[in-house]
């Protein structure tokens, strides 16, 4: 593990940012620094799965990653390389919770996915439009309210009605979402954690 | 004071359960919104707005379920003035049915940062969050919202609690104690507050220490009537699976523990309302006095593990997951309850929906909880 990667895993903000500034000033390729940061985030995801890091750590890592991107991007000669693929993400209709969705968005972005985040309280037709327009293969739906399971179902139904169901995998997640809701809604899978979402997207877009 | 025979009989079961002297699990109703969604002609909006009609509806619903399978007590009563209660808990704007939401949509907290950086200094200067709360309240609630809250939960508190007693149902929980971590998490918004916890933990701790003065005052002034059994101590954003160990040890547990101990001093049972998963830190509940607390979990904390670690130290209240109440069958609910009781035993166990039954919980699933307890 490189120094930058290590500092990111330790969530040592001050020393991390100093180290990145030093590397960039010393002429290190910005893309290499970026890749090392991605490795750090991937390690954080692994430690989270092992219950050695927690949601607050993921959120702090997300904050740091945004700051890192701001620091590195002006030095990038390209856009950082081809993204792994596009994912449409949003919280379903009638639900305004965004914390879990935002964590998933930052973890996916850090893992190299191009995330199209539609926000919260998103109607089914808006998900369908985004999937169509962007030709994505993974649609990720967030839901924190049991009363909004019907919104997941309606979104899955809208995707079917639009004739694109076989082209897109539908992943669902959020506090009360589990295998029962997958069966109820006709989605493909659920993610219990943000890292599950990353792993699922990697597999689906391989 | 004695209320009536049915109440007293049920109350003895509750008290025995806290002390692990019960032989059967205690069948506990929980569902702040379900009374409205299962009552013909009652919208959730009217249920929340019209306190008299809402309270009647809640008690009628308790009776209706009790006729199908016996209820021993309930966890959280009719949520009168609830918008104000949520505002005070989360320091955030709350969207309500019939106002910002459709008539039958459940309320939702809209978290946006309202506590500014300089508010930390104000709290430190005052040794209290009162002036900050005074500044932010107009930003997050109309005056009528707070008037409604005070009317139901302060002015009419005694009358409401006596209605439950008259109906024969002990109220496990008679209100909330919110720890500073939870207030700040809502008022700063979770993203900003968690960042504060990493960037300036000592300052956050000093602020929380100052805010605890308000919590101590609140607990000192709680009514001491016989109907006061317990009070929730939250437990939502401070969950073990949400915050790192370092933050939990510094900014979560010391405040929950102090609030719990203060309640016990007042003769009130702390009901530690533990949303999400607390497996990592279960041992810490051994720091609280034996058989004086209830851990109210929502299906994510492993109660089997909790029983192994805590033994008969603290009673459990829960923990049927809200998802099951919505999409599973009544048989699956019964199976869940019976397997849980097989594994952790009925002593010191209040069986209830975890956290809260969602508004869309199936009626037969709510009844199945109480049937399962009766059949076990």
Q: Taking 50 as the threshold, does the pLDDT of residue A80 lie above it?
A: no
Residue of A nearest to B325 (CA): A146
How do residues B220-239 score in pLDDT, each as one tens digit? 999 989 999 999 998 889 99
State how far the Cα of A202 lies from the Cα of A196, in Å rounded to an integer: 10
Of the candidates A66, A31, A91, the one whose C-alpha atom is nearest the C-alpha of residue B108 is A91
Distances in whole angstroms, Cα of residue B156 to Cα of each of A157, B62, B149, B151: 47, 21, 10, 6
Distances in whole angstroms, Cα of residue B45 to Cα of each of B38, B178, B207, B357: 13, 26, 37, 18
Is A184 in contact with B327 (Cβ distance < 8 A)?
yes
Spans of chain B below 50 pLDDT: none
Q: Taking 60 as the threshold, does the pLDDT of residue A78 lie above it?
A: no
How many residues in total does chain B contain? Answer: 376
Of the candidates B184, B198, B201, the one whose C-alpha atom is nearest the C-alpha of residue B111 is B184
pLDDT at position A206, please?
83
What ipTM is given for this predicted complex? Answer: 0.89
Of the candidates A59, A56, A65, A95, the one whose C-alpha atom is nearest the C-alpha of residue A4 is A65
Which CATH number characterizes residue B157's domain? 3.20.20.210
| Cis omega (within 30 of 0) for bond into B319 | yes
Of the candidates A45, A119, A105, the one whose C-alpha atom is nearest the C-alpha of residue A69 is A105
State how far the Cα of B164 lies from the Cα of B55, in Å rounded to an integer: 9
Using a CB-CB cut-off of 8 Å, the residues of chain A touching B358 are: 145-147, 176
Using a CB-CB cut-off of 8 Å, the residues of chain A touching B198 are: 11, 13, 56, 60
Using a CB-CB cut-off of 8 Å, the residues of chain A touching B244 are: 53-54, 56-57
A to B CB pairs, distance under 8 Å:
81
Is A54 in contact with B243 (Cβ distance < 8 A)?
yes
Widest CA span in chain B? 58
CB B195 within 8 A of CB A60: yes
Nearest-by-Cβ selection for A59 from B95, B191, B327: B191
pLDDT at position A63, please?
87
Write down the mean pLDDT value for chain A: 90
**Which structure tokens are listed for B231?**
């009070």
**Which structure tokens are listed for B147?**
């008037």
How do residues B86-115 score in pLDDT, each as one tens digit? 999 999 999 999 999 999 999 999 988 999
Nearest-by-Cβ selection for B327 from A53, A96, A181: A181
DSSP B289: P
A96 Cα distance to chain centroid: 18
H or E segment at A146? Answer: none
State how far the Cα of A146 lies from the Cα of A178, in Å rounded to an integer: 11
- Mutate which: B107, B108, B193, vs A, most A CBs within 10 A: B108
How do residues A164-190 score in pLDDT, each as one tens digit? 999 999 999 998 899 989 999 999 999
Nearest-by-Cβ selection for A147 from B195, B276, B358: B358
User: Considering its fold, how many domains does chain B have in total?
Assistant: 1
Pairing of strands A138-142, B26-29: unpaired
B372 contacts: CB under 8 Å, gap ≥ 6: B333, B334, B337, B338, B351
Is A59 in contact with B326 (Cβ distance < 8 A)?
no
**Backbone phi, then psi, for B298, in 5-degree steps?**
-120, 20
Of the candidates B217, B111, B92, B235, the one whose C-alpha atom is nearest the C-alpha of residue B173 is B235
Is B198 in contact with A53 (Cβ distance < 8 A)?
no
Give B318's strand partners.
B351
What is B150-172 written as a DSSP string? HIIIIITHHHHHHHHHHHT--BS
**Which structure tokens are listed for A200?**
């699922």
Is A146 in contact with B326 (Cβ distance < 8 A)?
yes
CB A120 within 8 A of CB A97: yes
Could you give the percent of chain B with pLDDT greater than 90?
Answer: 96
**Which structure tokens are listed for B350?**
């209040």
* Alpha carbon of B241: minimum distance to chain A alpha carbons (Å): 6
**Backbone phi, then psi, for B242, in 5-degree steps?**
-95, -40
Residue located via tokens 């704007």? B93
The angle subtended at Cα B222 by Cα B161 and Cα B253, nearest 5°, is 115
Interface of chain B toward chain A, CB-CB under 8 angstroms: 95, 101-102, 105-106, 108, 110-111, 190-191, 194-195, 197-199, 240-245, 247, 276, 280, 321-328, 358-361
- Mutate which: B92, B101, B188, B198, vs A, most A CBs within 10 A: B198
| Gap between the terminal Cα atoms of chain B | 33
Range of the domain at B72: 5-375
Interface of chain A toward chain B, CB-CB under 8 angstroms: 11, 13, 51, 53-57, 59-60, 63, 94-97, 99, 102, 145-147, 149-150, 175-178, 180-181, 183-184
pLDDT grade for A112, boundaries at 50, 70 and 90: confident
- What's the pTM value of the predicted model, to 2 decimals? 0.89
């Amino acid at each position: 593990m490189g120094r930058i990667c290590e500092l990111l895993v330790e969530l040592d903000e001050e020393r991390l940012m100093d180290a990145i500034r030093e590397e960039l000033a010393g002429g290190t390729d910005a893309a290499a620094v970026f890749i090392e940061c991605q490795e750090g985030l991937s390690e954080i995801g692994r430690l989270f799965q092992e219950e050695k890091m927690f949601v607050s750590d993921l959120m702090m890592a997300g904050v740091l990653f945004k700051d890192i991107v701001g620091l590195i991007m002006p030095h990038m000669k390209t856009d950082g390389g081809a993204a792994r693929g596009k994912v449409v993400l949003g919280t379903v209709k009638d639900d305004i919770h965004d914390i879990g969705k935002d964590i998933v968005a930052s973890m996916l972005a850090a893992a190299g996915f191009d995330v199209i985040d539609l926000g919260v309280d998103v109607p089914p037709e808006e998900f369908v439009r985004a999937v169509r327009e962007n030709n994505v293969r993974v649609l990720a739906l967030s839901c924190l309210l049991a009363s909004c399971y019907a919104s997941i179902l309606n979104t899955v139904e809208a995707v079917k009605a639009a004739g694109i169901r076989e082209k897109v995998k539908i992943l669902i997640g959020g506090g009360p979402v589990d295998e029962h809701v997958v069966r109820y809604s006709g989605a493909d899978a659920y993610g219990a954690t943000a890292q599950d979402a990353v792993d699922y997207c990697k597999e689906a877009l391989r | 004071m004695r209320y009536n025979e049915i109440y007293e009989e049920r109350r003895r079961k509750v008290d025995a359960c806290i002390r692990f002297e019960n032989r059967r699990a205690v069948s506990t109703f929980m569902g702040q919104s379900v009374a409205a969604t299962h009552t013909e002609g009652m919208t959730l909006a009217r249920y929340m707005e019209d306190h008299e009609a809402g309270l009647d509806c809640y008690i009628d619903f308790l009776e209706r379920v009790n006729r199908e399978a016996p209820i021993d007590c309930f966890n959280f009563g009719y949520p009168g003035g609830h918008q104000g209660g949520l505002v005070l808990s989360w320091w955030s704007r709350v969207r309500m049915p019939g106002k910002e939401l459709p008539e039958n949509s459940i309320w939702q907290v809209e978290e946006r940062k309202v506590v500014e950086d300089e508010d930390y200094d104000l709290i430190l200067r005052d040794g209290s969050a009162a002036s900050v709360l005074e500044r932010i309240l107009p930003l997050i609630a109309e005056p009528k919202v707070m008037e409604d809250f005070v009317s139901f939960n302060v002015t009419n508190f005694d009358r409401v609690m006596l209605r439950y007693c008259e109906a024969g149902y002990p109220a496990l929980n008679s209100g909330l104690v919110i720890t500073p971590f939870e207030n700040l998490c809502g008022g700063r918004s979770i993203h900003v507050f968690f960042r504060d916890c990493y960037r300036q933990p000592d300052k956050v701790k000093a602020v929380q220490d100052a805010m605890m003065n308000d919590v101590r005052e609140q607990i000192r002034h709680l009514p001491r009537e016989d109907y006061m059994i317990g009070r929730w101590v939250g437990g939502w954003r401070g969950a073990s699976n949400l915050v790192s160990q370092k933050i939990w040890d510094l900014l979560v547990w010391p405040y929950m523990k102090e609030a719990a101990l203060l309640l016990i001093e007042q003769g009130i049972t702390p009901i530690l309302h533990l949303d999400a998963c607390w497996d990592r830190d279960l041992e810490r509940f051994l720091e609280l006095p034996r058989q004086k607390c209830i851990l109210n979990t929502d299906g994510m904390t492993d109660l089997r593990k909790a029983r192994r670690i805590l033994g008969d130290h603290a009673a459990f209240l829960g923990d049927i997951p809200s998802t099951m109440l919505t999409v599973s069958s009544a048989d699956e609910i019964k199976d869940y309850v019976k397997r849980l009781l097989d594994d952790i035993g009925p002593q010191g166990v209040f069986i209830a929906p975890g956290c809260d039954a969602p508004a869309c919980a199936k009626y037969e699933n709510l009844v199945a909880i109480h049937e399962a307890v009766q059949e076990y």
